[in-house]
Amino acid sequence: MTYQQLFEFIKAQKSYLCVGLDTDITKIPSHLFVEKDPIFEFNKQIIDATAQFCVAYKPNTAFYEANGAMGWASLEKTIEYLNSNYPNHFTIADAKRGDIGNTSAMYAKAFFENMNFDSITVAPYMGKDSVAPFLGFKDKWVILLAFTSNTGSQDFEELVLKNEVKKLYENVLETSQNWADENNMMYVVGATKAESFKEIRKMVPLHFLLVPGVGAQGGSLEEVSKFGMNKTCGLLVNSSRGIIYASGEKDFAIQAAKEAQKIQSEMAKYLELYL
Amino acid sequence: MTYQQLFEFIKAQKSYLCVGLDTDITKIPSHLFVEKDPIFEFNKQIIDATAQFCVAYKPNTAFYEANGAMGWASLEKTIEYLNSNYPNHFTIADAKRGDIGNTSAMYAKAFFENMNFDSITVAPYMGKDSVAPFLGFKDKWVILLAFTSNTGSQDFEELVLKNEVKKLYENVLETSQNWADENNMMYVVGATKAESFKEIRKMVPLHFLLVPGVGAQGGSLEEVSKFGMNKTCGLLVNSSRGIIYASGEKDFAIQAAKEAQKIQSEMAKYLELYL
């Protein structure tokens, strides 16, 4: 998917919501256990119910790996279902990968060639050659961890570098712009860091930001939108638990749709205000 | 596995070799394709041929994920085979994971509970709460990325922090010692950084270091051993491609054993010299 296609879809949907598919076998409704693949069945129903309110889906690989090879098959079926039925939705493998070149190339094969995800989240710690193998695919995206939503972000991401006023994550934002531009790189910036969005936007005015941390983690959608939105929206705001576990009963998909719609309505308002 | 058990096994084997199972479907001998699971069959024969010369095995998850759910099944069979037949060998899931707490907990479930790996490599970028979920398992280990073997290590790992002479990776070494001690944490330090081992040993005198980069990446086993070894050896030196692809023919396991034995003989010498 291209930058422009993503922007057009955001305008059409009046939404920049990403639904996080952190599907936990211990949290899905019990009536699904008659299905051959309860995880996939859950995802399928969540996707069908929420697709009109969002522009992206983000399966979190940890939750699939926790079920072993069967879990990996659920992930493959989920992305195949998305690509076949919702080709306009942007897909994110939330995998936080990153390793030496020949290994990152294998991860790129797994997520881009085999599963045909639009994008993958990548950890920057190991530097350029650990990220580069993901950048060689047409219309595929790297979403690089910059300033994450968790408390541990203060341990290293916020460290200030010598002879600079810049923090490590700001250095990540700056340096990585030599590797790729806004057409194939995005950044993860946590919603719990809303006050930082102004400064971050000075450094990366055009890039899309993937923003986790609204909902269960306490970030404010209003502040993120106010300080983070640019002329092409430039935001994909993720909600996982708040949507997919809105109900643990048979009505889980209906309740998920309601939660997604609630966020989408708010987003439509912010798109009018700030775009 | 405990620190002491690992040290005893190193003395018994006269080796601190870790064999990296970066098993690439495009590189294994063609006669294995009659097997139901060629990747597992390759690993099984490599393991049987090299076990007497090494103390650890390190499957690299990228190479299994590149084959999808089938690849994940090959990984599961490989670790099951190791745990059943070589329970004294230390096992490392080279996965470079790390995410917010509830996600890291799912990765810990996948690698420690389900597959029963002894250890997992973890990226430090997201800080303490992204690492902590891996530390709650008895006799299981986190192997934290510190100073990696690739050229990209200069992009962020070597950045010098404000008001300090310390680089980011040195800060990772220092800060993470508040999270765990040498009994459940190790560090990745690349063999291509042999000149750094002296300084690193001042910061982490007791910890085991997992050292990739000998062989294909050009690091020197002699220098790593000379500058990196401590009183309990404290080193696990990895070789992947140099061993497992020593031959691409039917004799691949025999040639792998020869390469492993060559390294083990050198290691036996260094253990006499430097331990």
- The bridge status of strand A209-211 relative to strand A185-189 is parallel
Choose, from B96, B166, B258, B262, the residue flagged as catalytic. Answer: B96
Task: Looking at the complex, report in whole angstroms how far the Cα of residue B12 sits from the nearest Cα belonging to chain A.
Answer: 32
- Interface-testing mutation among B37, B150, B161, with chain A (most A C-beta atoms within 10 A): B150
Check B155 against A69: CB less than 8 A apart: no
Radius of gyration of chain A (CA): 18
* B115 vs A contacts (CB less than 8 Å): 68
Q: Which residues lie below 8 Å from residue B263, measured CB to CB, with a gap of 6+?
A: B15, B17, B53, B214, B221, B237, B239, B243
Check A148 against B164: CB less than 8 A apart: no
Check B127 against A154: CB less than 8 A apart: yes
Nearest chain A residue to B165 by CA: give it.
Answer: A162
The confidence band for A28, taking pLDDT boundaries of 50, 70 and 90, is very high
Q: Per DSSP, what are the bridge partners of residue B187? A: B144, B209
Residue of B152, B149, B65 lying closest to B110 (CA atoms):
B65
At B194-253, the pLDDT tens digits run 789 999 999 999 999 999 988 777 889 999 999 999 999 999 999 999 999 999 999 999
Q: Residue B255 corresponds to which amino acid?
A: Q
User: Tokens 């879809």 label which residue?
Assistant: A9
- Interface-testing mutation among A22, A37, A65, with chain B (most B C-beta atoms within 10 A): A65
pLDDT at residue B217, rounded to an integer: 76
At A55-70, the pLDDT tens digits run 999 999 999 999 999 9
- Interface-testing mutation among A24, A80, A107, A150, with chain B (most B C-beta atoms within 10 A): A150
The confidence band for B128, taking pLDDT boundaries of 50, 70 and 90, is very high
What is chain A's length? 275
How many Å apart are CA B74 and CA A180, to the nearest integer?
35
Coil vs helix vs strand at B87: coil
Comparing CB atoms, the residue among A68, A97, A128 nearest residue B155 is A128
Check A70 against B69: CB less than 8 A apart: yes
Check A125 against B125: CB less than 8 A apart: yes
Domains and CATH numbers, chain B: 3-274 (3.20.20.70)
How many Å apart are CA B84 and CA B170, to the nearest integer?
38
Nearest chain B residue to A188 by CA: give it.
Answer: B126
Q: Residue B176 corresponds to which amino acid?
A: S
The confidence band for A132, taking pLDDT boundaries of 50, 70 and 90, is very high
Check A156 against B168: CB less than 8 A apart: yes
pLDDT at residue A137, rounded to an integer: 96
| Residues of A annotated as catalytic (active site), given as ranges | 96
Task: Looking at the complex, report in whole angstroms how far the Cα of residue B148 sits from the nearest Cα belonging to chain A.
Answer: 7
A-B contacts at Cβ under 8 angstroms: 193
Distances from the Cα of B229 to the Cα of A258, B205, B235, angstroms: 60, 9, 6
Comparing CB atoms, the residue among A115, A127, A168 nearest residue B153 is A127
- Interface-testing mutation among A64, A78, A100, A128, with chain B (most B C-beta atoms within 10 A): A100
pLDDT at residue A231, rounded to an integer: 97
Check A62 against B97: CB less than 8 A apart: yes
The H or E element that residue A17 is part of is strand A17-21
Comparing CB atoms, the residue among B69, B96, B97 nearest residue A72 is B69
Nearest chain A residue to B132 by CA: give it.
Answer: A152
Comparing CB atoms, the residue among A63, A68, A126 nearest residue B145 is A126
Comparing CB atoms, the residue among A109, A115, A127 nearest residue B156 is A127
At B64-121, the pLDDT tens digits run 999 999 999 999 999 999 999 999 999 999 999 999 999 999 999 999 999 999 999 9
This complex has an ipTM of 0.96
Q: Looking at the predicted structure, is the pLDDT value of residue A271 above 90?
A: yes
Q: Per DSSP, what are the bridge partners of residue A58? A: A20
At B169-181, the pLDDT tens digits run 999 999 999 999 9
